[in-house]
């Protein structure tokens, strides 16, 4: 009888460990829906999904980096600098599609610089990305002289380019011609990214190499994994996705400013930690990050609706990270 109880307890613990983030998400949604009727409005859920896009894209890249036993503090600065680069190119008269592509390439390179500092410079990931975070934010300030770049969509000469730029951040997909049921295009991009990286991490050789690098880099090298290459690529991925998030943001607000993305690394790390990814690398799932992103989005949205001041929200996020990391250390 005692053995049976012990086994049941272990199974329950395993289920909570595996799906704890989703259980917490469901409880949070039900609780907020019961407290405030505005939260459960369809329009609010649409807004919530749109808001989750930025943290979601950054968190996917952060998941890859943390799985490889790294950390990327520069994501918010890459978010801002890529947005500034795209805005400057738009103001110079280049086609909108080309501006977006060039900004994404720039973001990928900026992420790769962090990877090179970690692998070739032998710097700790925390220090390397702290350096790039500070440098990229400074460059964004220098380029703009600390001032915002406004009216981006109006500065695009072609009608098609303007439509593309607006759709990137503000567009909605109507189902079966029913304009009352719309799904935000940014959220659709986020779902597509989640699916792609779920496949990469679970079904490809490169995904297995990320896990191997994070679990034990020395053993991974012995079996032929180029761990330096893996780490550089994951930082490039992080830079690319941070850049994509930044471009969606400037499309939504129709302006770019050097302070964009400030503190976004906190939300991304919180989402990854909440999703069960080990901060020491080698263990975690992208599906957990999905739950973590939604928890952060629901928390932000719900607390705003309830009128909780933003500085209290920061404290709550810090507590969330602490709880997630402490629970990870006990696994």
DSSP string, 19-70: HHHHHHHHHHHHHHHHH-GGGGSHHHHHHHHHHHHHHHHHHHHHHHHHHTT-
- Whether residue 64 is contained in a domain is answered as yes
Task: Using pLDDT thresholds of 50, 70 and 90, give the confidence band for residue 14.
Answer: low
**Percent residues over pLDDT 90 in the chain:** 64
Q: Is residue 136 part of a domain?
A: yes
- Per-residue pLDDT band for 171 (boundaries 50, 70, 90) equals confident
Domain count, the chain: 1
| Domain-embedded: residue 142 | yes
Q: What would the DSSP string read from start to end of 283-327? A: ---HHHHHHHHHHHHHHHHHHHHTT--HHHHHHHHHHHHHHHHHH
Residue 14 domain flag: no
Q: What is the span of the domain harbouring residue 307?
A: 38-329
Q: Does the pLDDT of residue 181 top 70, yes or no?
A: no
On the question of pLDDT at 119 being above 60, the answer is yes
Confidence of residue 47 (pLDDT cuts 50, 70, 90): confident
Residue pair 85/250 in contact by the 8 Å Cβ criterion: no
How far apart CA 104 and CA 85 sit, in angstroms, is 10
- Looking at the predicted structure, is the pLDDT value of residue 150 above 80? yes
Q: Is residue 16 part of a domain?
A: no
- pLDDT at residue 179 above 80? no
pLDDT on residue 265: 93
Answer whether residue 24 is part of any domain. no
The alpha carbons of the chain give a radius of gyration, in whole angstroms, of 21
Q: What's the CATH code of the domain at 146?
A: 1.10.3470
Enclosing H/E stretch for 203: helix 185-203
Sign (positive or negative) of CA dihedral 201, 194, 324, 20: negative
Residue 9 covered by a domain: no
Task: Tell me how far apart the alpha carbons of residues 319 and 164 are, in angstroms, rounded to a whole number.
Answer: 40
Q: Does residue 20 lie within any of the structural domains?
A: no
- Mind listing the pLDDT tens digit for each residue in 59-117? 999 999 999 999 999 999 999 999 999 999 999 999 999 999 999 999 999 999 999 99
pLDDT bracket for residue 55 (50, 70, 90): very high
d(CA 217, CA 279): 15
Interval 248-306: pLDDT, tens: 999 999 999 999 999 899 889 989 988 889 888 999 999 999 999 999 999 889 888 88
Q: Which of 210, 242, 228, 190 is nearest to 61 (CA)?
A: 242
């Amino acid at each position: 009888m005692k053995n049976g109880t012990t086994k049941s307890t272990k199974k329950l613990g395993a289920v909570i460990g595996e799906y704890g983030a989703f259980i917490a998400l469901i409880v949070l949604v039900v609780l907020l829906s019961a407290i405030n009727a505005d939260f459960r409005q369809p329009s609010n859920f649409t807004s919530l999904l749109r808001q989750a896009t930025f943290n979601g894209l950054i968190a996917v890249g952060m998941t890859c980096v943390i799985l490889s036993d790294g950390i990327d503090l520069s994501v918010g600065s890459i978010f801002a600098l890529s947005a500034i680069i795209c805005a400057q190119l738009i103001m110079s008269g280049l086609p909108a599609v080309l501006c977006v592509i060039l900004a994404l390439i720039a973001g990928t390179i900026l992420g790769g610089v962090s990877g090179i500092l970690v692998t070739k410079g032998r710097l700790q990931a925390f220090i390397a990305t702290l350096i790039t975070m500070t440098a990229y934010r400074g460059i964004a300030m220098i380029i703009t002289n600390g001032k915002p770049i406004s009216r981006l969509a109006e500065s695009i000469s072609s009608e098609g380019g303007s439509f593309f730029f607006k759709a990137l951040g503000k567009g909605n997909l109507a189902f079966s011609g029913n304009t009352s049921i719309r799904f935000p295009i940014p959220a659709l991009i986020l779902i597509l990214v989640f699916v792609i990286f779920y496949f990469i991490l679970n079904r490809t050789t490169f995904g297995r190499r990320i896990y191997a690098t994070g679990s034990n880099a020395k053993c991974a090298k012995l079996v032929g994994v180029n761990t330096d290459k893996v780490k550089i690529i994951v930082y490039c991925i992080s830079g690319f996705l941070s850049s994509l998030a930044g471009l969606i943001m400037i499309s939504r607000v129709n302006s770019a400013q050097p302070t964009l993305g400030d503190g976004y690394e906190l939300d991304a790390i919180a989402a990854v930690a909440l999703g069960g990814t080990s901060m020491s690398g080698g263990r975690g799932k992208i599906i957990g990050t999905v739950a973590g992103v939604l928890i952060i989005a629901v928390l932000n949205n719900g607390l705003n609706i309830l009128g909780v001041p933003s500085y209290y929200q920061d404290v709550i996020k810090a507590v969330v990270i602490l709880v997630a990391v402490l629970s990870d250390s006990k696994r």
